[in-house]
Amino acid sequence: MLFSTRPIRLNLKHPFRIARETSEYKQNVLVSISDDKFTGIGEAAPSVYYGENADSVMQVLEEASTFVGDDPFALEATMIRLTSRFPGDSSARAAVDIALYDLAAQRLGVPLYRWLGLDPDRTPVTSFTIGIDEPKTVLNKVREAAGYPALKIKLGSEKDLKVMHTIRNETDARIRIDANGGWTVDQAVEMVKHLSDFDVELVEQPLPPGSPKDWNKVHEAAAMPVIADESVLTSSDVADIADLADGVNVKLMKCGGIREALRLIHTARAHGMQVMIGCMIESSVAITAAAHLSPLADYADLDGNLLITNDPFIGVTVHNGRLVLPQEPGIGVVPR
């Protein structure tokens, strides 16, 4: 099979600020894997927070190309080989995994969701993310997002409560909060109590990963579900958080692709937890791949492609907030 890689720069509509960082663009990497008839496409959206960047991804993929044999259906063996050689390079592995699933499903002539046995009518509503900003700018962004029935509000600055007042005065949309671990335990306990006044659907990653004692305090204080994101990378992280949170945010880039995401989802369910399927800043390639798994999730936060101005692809679309999966074989993305 032919293996090729290409970096892409995704420009953000607004500088994107979360509790720990601000960015104006995102450097991702595309992977194509072709046989004599079909081409599967994948994408890596590396995060410095998880120890990767576009250069490290390009290096990993150069070597990874020699790990991918001639059979795109040999996913288990290929991904085990890649994971043992590149344990810390989850987004690079995700790019290969997505491209292989895309290629294999194209060979089968079915959309990925169908191969996975999932019902495309069961996709959830996706939230639309509003980054940290001055209350006035947040208000403008909330107005721009009027077509989305669910908003994910990034908190973790000294203006959190002011921002919440501003938003609730403007909209009745469902509101999900993501602190990206930006609160101390005292702040988090205080905030989850206040957030009940704003009819908040859930709170994501109130604290940094670690400290079960602190997580327990916040979990007990929160009337709404607490979802773990940065605390859970793969299925082996679920057991440790199962009593401290109500759900997990599954991202292809954190866990290493579709195959591990399925394991992670099922592990979370086995622990009685809720499931959110989320993303990084990604083009429609990785977003669409994740959207095919979304019928398994309670919540979707698949808006990375909606936050950029130069998405090179068309795939999953959003109608009245709900994800609509493409019907073409594979993950079903085409160049824009």
Binding site for Mg ion (CB under 5 A): 178, 204, 229
The three-class DSSP label of residue 4 is: strand
Cα distance between residue 27 and residue 294, in whole Å? 25
Name the residue among 320, 289, 283 with its Cα closest to residue 303: 283
Cα distance between residue 201 and residue 212, in whole Å? 23
How near is the Cβ of 182 to Mg ion at its closest, in Å? 11
How near is the Cβ of 20 to Mg ion at its closest, in Å? 11
Residue nearer to Mg ion on the CB measure, 133 or 229: 229
Cα distance between residue 173 and residue 146, in whole Å? 8
How near is the Cβ of 54 to Mg ion at its closest, in Å? 21
Residue nearer to Mg ion on the CB measure, 229 or 260: 229
CB of 98 closer than 8 Å to CB of 287:
no
Bridge pairing between strands 226-228 and 247-250: parallel
Residue nearer to Mg ion on the CB measure, 82 or 248: 248
How near is the Cβ of 59 to Mg ion at its closest, in Å? 27
Residue nearer to Mg ion on the CB measure, 229 or 246: 229
Residue nearer to Mg ion on the CB measure, 178 or 282: 178
How near is the Cβ of 285 to Mg ion at its closest, in Å? 20
How near is the Cβ of 218 to Mg ion at its closest, in Å? 15
Tokens for 112? 């990925």
Maximal CA-CA distance, the chain: 59
Residue nearer to Mg ion on the CB measure, 19 or 74: 19
CB of 27 closer than 8 Å to CB of 282:
no
Tokens for 114? 């169908």
Question: 46 CB contacts (<8 Å, ≥6 apart)?
Answer: 27, 28, 29, 52, 53, 54, 56, 57, 91, 92, 253
Cα distance between residue 323 and residue 288, in whole Å? 9
How near is the Cβ of 251 to Mg ion at its closest, in Å? 8
For Mg ion, the nearest residue by Cβ is 229
Residue nearer to Mg ion on the CB measure, 204 or 311: 204
